[in-house]
Amino acid sequence: MSLIDRFRRENAVQQYDFWLDLRAVPMRRRRELRRELRANLTEASADVGMTRALFGIGSPKQLAHETAPDDPTRPRWGLGALVAALVFGLVAFGVMYTATTYTSGVEASGVTGQTVRGFVFPWYGVEFSARIEPDRGGLATGAANVQYYLLGPPLLAFLLVAQPWRLLRRRGERG
């Protein structure tokens, strides 16, 4: 099997694993299913080639949906972590953009040689600061008390998407 065929096989296996993870399939079961798919693709590629073997399995997403029905008693830890990371990135970008814009405003006002502090909507409680040195000697910008925004929304997104309370449903069914 060529290096490109191995890459294509592993790409399909990883896509399959991703969709299984989103379906809340346990790690041990996902490992078994990955191993089975890898073996089937290797065997089929020896007979008909990797391209036809990959076409034979169809979409990894559809294969994962057919293989593992959605389990309403399992939290979606992986999807929750992915969404929390995206929310964290958006919040961090928003804070940095606001701090940069605040610094541009201070620069446009012509204030130099002193630190200017202020609050900007919608960042309630976050104090932005900017210092512009005279004669283009440099600038500094910052944001204080931003930790609640960097931790709160991502944590909330994680909890809403991962749905850890599904574990309680599982315990209720056992009892």
The pLDDT tens digits of the residues spanning 27-83 come to: 888 899 999 999 999 999 888 988 898 898 888 889 988 888 776 777 888 889 999
What phi, psi does 140 have (nearest 5°)? -140, 140
pTM check: above 0.75: no
Residues 51 and 41: their CA atoms lie apart, in Å, by: 10
Q: Which residues contact 163 (CB under 8 A, 6 or more apart)?
A: 75, 76, 80
Q: Which residues contact 73 (CB under 8 A, 6 or more apart)?
A: 166, 167, 169, 170, 173
Per-residue pLDDT tens digits for 91-149? 999 999 999 999 989 988 888 888 999 999 889 999 999 999 888 788 889 999 999 99
How many CB atoms neighbour CB 136 within 10 A?
9
One-letter amino acid at 34 equals R
